[in-house]
Structure 1
Amino acid sequence: MQIYNRIALVGIEQEEYEVIRANYSGLIIWHQALPKIVVKGQVLYMEKANGVGMLPVDKVVYYGIYDNDFDFIAGLAIWNGDCYPNAVAMLDCRFKIPCLVKALTHTQFSAPRGFISAGASMNATEDTVAKWGNWHCGENKHRFTGEWESEFTATTEAYFEGEAVRIMVLGDKHWQIKLEGETWLKSIHPNSAGFMPVDAELLADTLHIQKAMQMDMIGNDYIVGNDGKKYLLEVNHIPNITRFEAVREAYLATVIAFING
């Protein structure tokens, strides 16, 4: 008689939960918000989805970015159990600036970055982009030339005219996505964004960063400049998996294999 593990799904949306539920015969604790957890004796206990108390969990699938999730991910990393994606890698990549610093030591498409403390001013003689915070999708970015005072701690980089693309790797699948937008801010969300032929150099770079940083899934954003030069912009440790059905199907297949393995 097969004994099934108790699985925890955290951050998984209803539609994806139903697919996973239909493909797993064991017990599932499902939380769309961050649950309370306790790690004791190398066992992870998670609060029940309904009712009072906690139950031991054998495997965790985590998907999402929350304002206060860093400590939760740290708890998963201390547990050091079966977690998808790898909790230690998620912890290393949760804060955008430290993640970028690490990625820049591994990429072959680095460009010089600047740094500005909250409340400090910078005078830029060239078209410059400042980025702050730990959100993606074009948020928390400012393009400027001349004097600018930053309200937040931020990185700065030259603005490059060119094509914005994302290399996504998930399991043994990979894609290149052309990012779009009506302004200089580009993302995968506009209807015009879509798949395009994969640049072998960008894929190799992404795979190298993924391996070096021990990430199970990754979405790297690059600019391919009008002059042909390539630059790594940022690393997404939890890239969007619902925007394109092919990516969603690959994600679900990977998760189902993980929980049944």
Structure 2
Amino acid sequence: MNENICLIGFDEPEIEILKQQISGRVIAHPSLPGFRVEDGQLYVDNESGGWQSRVDRVIFHGIFESDAELFVALALWGGPCFPDPLGMLNCRDKHACLVRALSQTQFPGFGRGYVPAGGSVKLETEQVAKWGNWHCGENKARVQGEWSAEFSSTLEPFYPGNAVRVVLLGDEVFQIQLTGDDWLKSIHDPTADFMNVDADLAEDTRALAQYFNLPVIANDYVVGEDGEKYLLEVNHIPNVTRFPLLWERYTELVINWCRD
């Protein structure tokens, strides 16, 4: 029997690719749709608006300011959702996600700190302050000496070395060298590219994916100049369109999931 499958958070080119390969009715929303859970059933807005339709499966890919409410609804619904809504909910607050990840990783680093909004610190060594719930190098600053936090911020030592991203897509692991013109490194820099996978980082990423029950995850690490490794952050909804190979593998993963 054909299912109603809802895509949430994909851009139009990706929506068209997925629609061509998914059997059944596909309801796609690039941004968060209206939704409700009623009598054990999930309903979402139709693409054209108006009435809501019952949905059998959800594929979610995006980060939105109020998406935690959707994750709560999806978890209470309990139907097939890719990725797991409880895993996404546990990762949605970036600071809380980091604390959870540091309790599990082999590479927690040292000297982490926290400053509430309006608080001040006097830092003898250079550190990186991070605030907010966005990724891609936003809401970060290198700080030292007297520093006042406008927003609640985590602190971590500035680790000199190479920044890498380890991406897990189902059973496959990829590693990307993050690059950039300054200290902020990213997969979006045109020189970022695939590199050999570090076995220890792959094992760590698999363990964190299992801990959060997420089939797709990307961890950012620094491999220090002394060879030591440090987890920087967990990306529960990583970019899968920057590299064609990742998009190809991601597409295969979600299409096969729809067929299960």
What is the TM-score when the length of structure 2 is the normalising length?
0.98
Q: Deviations over 1:64-117 (max 9, x none)?
A: 011221111221111111000111100000110000000001001012310000
Task: Measure how far apart 1:25 and its partner are.
Answer: 2.6
Distance 1:208 1:260 in 2: 26
State which of 82, 94, 98 in structure 2 corresponds to 1:100: 98
**CA distance in 1: counterparts of 2:81 and 2:229, whole angstroms:** 33
Equivalent in the alignment of 2:211: 212
Distance 1:23 1:226 in 2: 45
| Superposed CA offset, 1:19-45 (max 9, x none) | 211112311111111011111121101
Q: Tell me how far apart the structure 2 counterparts of residues 119 and 58 of structure 1 sit (CA, whole Å).
A: 46
1:139-162 CA-partner distances (Å, limit 9, x unpaired):
000101100001000100100100
Query: Residue by residue, what CA displacement relative to the aligned partner does 1:235-260 show, whole Å, maximum 9, x if unpaired?
Result: 00000000000000011111111122
C-alpha separation between the residues in 2 aligned to 1:239 and 1:47?
A: 25
Give the aligned residue type for 1:235. V
| Structure 2 SS opposite 1:136 | coil
Structure 1 residue 51 displacement after superposition: 3.6
Distance in 2 of aligned mates of 1:79 and 1:150 = 39
Match of 2:56 among 50, 55, 58: 58
> What are the Cα deviations for residues 165-187 of structure 1, in whole angstroms up to 9, with x where unaligned?
00000112210000001111111
Whether the aligned pair in 2 keeps the contact of 1:16 and 1:252 (CA below 8 Å) is: no
Kept in 2: contact 1:222–1:234 (CA 8 A): yes
3-state SS of 1:115 partner: strand
Q: C-alpha root-mean-square deviation of aligned residues, in Å? A: 0.9
Matches of 1:162 and 1:16, distance apart in 2:
35
Equivalent-residue separation in structure 2 for 1:81 and 1:123 (angstroms)? 49
The corresponding residue for 1:139 is: 138
Give, in whole Å, the separation in 1 of the partners of 2:143 and 2:58: 42
Aligned counterpart, 1:36: 34
2:89 corresponds in structure 1 to 91
Aligned length: 259
Amino acid at match of 1:222: Y
Which residues of structure 1 form unaligned runs of 5+?
A: none
SS at match of 2:100: helix
Secondary structure, in 3 states, of the residue corresponding to 1:195? Answer: strand
Q: Is the 8 A contact 2:109 2:229 kept in 1?
A: no
- Report which stretch shifted further, 32-41 or 96-105: 32-41
Q: TM-score, normalised by structure 1?
A: 0.97
Residue in structure 2 matched with residue 193 of structure 1 by the alignment: 192
- What is the alpha-carbon distance in structure 2 between the residues aligned to residue 245 and residue 135 of structure 1? 24
Question: Structure 1 stretch 241-250 or stretch 75-84: which is displaced more?
Answer: 75-84
- Quote the residue 1:152 is aligned against: 151
Query: Identical aligned pairs, as a percentage?
Result: 46
Select the residue among 47, 69, 72 that pairs with 1:71: 69
Unmatched runs of 5 consecutive residues or more in structure 2: none
Q: Distance in 2 between matches of 1:24 and 1:186?
A: 35
Residue 12 of structure 1 is matched in structure 2 by 10
Question: Could you tell me whether the CA contact under 8 Å between 1:160 and 1:223 is conserved in 2?
Answer: yes
Indicate the residue corresponding to 2:240 in structure 1.
241
1:81 and 2:79 are equivalent in the alignment: yes
CA shift at 1:53, angstroms? Answer: 1.0
